[in-house]
A = this chain, B = another copy of it.
Amino acid sequence: MAFFPSSLENLIDKFASLPGVGKKSAQRLAFHMLSLPDQEADAFADAITRAKHSVHFCSVCQNFTEDEICGICASERRDHSVICVVSEPRDVLSIERGREYNGTYHVLHGVLSPMSHIGPDDIKIKELLNRVAEGEVEEVIMATNPDTEGEATALYISRLLKPFNIKVTRLAYGIPVGSNLEFADDATLNRAIEGRTEM
C-alpha cells in the first residue's frame, strides 16, 4: 500500500530527481506545492513549460536566449574582437556583474572531463573555433574555473587556437581582493607570487 496518492508520489519523485534534492526535501517541496493556491501552482508548471520551450542557445555565443542571437552578441556597443570563454551561463552573469568587461562571450556548457566521459565534442568548442575562423576575433580570454578540469579545458582550447595566430589569455590568479593572506591556500599564494606585478 502506497502511503501517499500516486500523483503526489509522482511529484515527490520529480522533485527528488533534481540535482541536490534528497527524498526528504522533495517531500517538503511537494507538500509546499500542494499548499499553494491553484493559480500559483499552475503558474509554476507554466514557468517550466514556457522556459523550456522558448529558451535556447544563442547561435553565436551559445548563451541562453529567447531570440536567434542574444543581447550581448547583438549589441553594437560590445567589442566583438574579444571573446571571453566560460564554462556555464552563470559565469557570464558573474563577469557582467563586474561592469568592466565589454567584449563578447562564448559559453562551453561544460568542461572536458574524462572521468565523466565529457570529450571535446560534448561541449561547444567547435562553435568557438568557427567564430574565430571568421577572422574578426583578435583575443580569446580563457575564463574557465581555476580547477583541474577547467585548466585542462583552457589548455586544450588554447592549443586548438594556436594556428589562428591570435592572442589567447587566461584570467589572472591571485589573492582575492579584500581577503586575508592567512586564509589563502598554498597554490593560490604561489600563483600570486609568480604573477606579482610592479607597484
Answer yes or no: A183 CB below 8 A from chain B CBs. no
**Can you tell how many copies of this chain the complex includes?**
2
Q: Which residues of B contact A66 (CB under 8 A)?
A: 5-7
> Which of these binds chain B: A17-25, A133-141, A142-150?
A17-25
A54-72 to B contact mask, C-beta < 8 Å, 1/0: 1100000000111000010
Residues of chain B within 8 A of A44, CB atoms compared: 14, 48
Q: A24-50: contact bitstring with B at CB < 8 Å (1 yes, 0 no)? A: 010111111110101001111111111
Q: Is the interface of A mostly helix, strand, loop or mixed?
A: helix
Nearest B residue to A2 via CB reads B71
Q: Which residues in window 150-192 of A have CB below 8 A to B?
A: none
CB-based nearest B residue for A9 = B51
Partner of A33, one of B33, B52, B88: B52
- Distance (whole angstroms) from the CB of A55 to the closest CB of chain B: 5
B14 touches A43 (CB 8 A): yes
Is A115 in contact with chain B by the CB < 8 A criterion? no
The verdict on A11 contacting chain B, using a C-beta distance below 8 Å, is: yes
9 example contacts (A-B, Cβ-Cβ < 8 A) are as follows: A7-B51, A8-B64, A11-B48, A20-B25, A34-B52, A38-B53, A41-B49, A45-B46, A48-B48
Interface residues in chain A, defined as those with a beta carbon under 8 Å from any beta carbon in chain B: 1, 3-8, 10-11, 14, 18-21, 25, 27-34, 36, 38, 41-55, 64-66, 71, 88-90, 92-93, 96
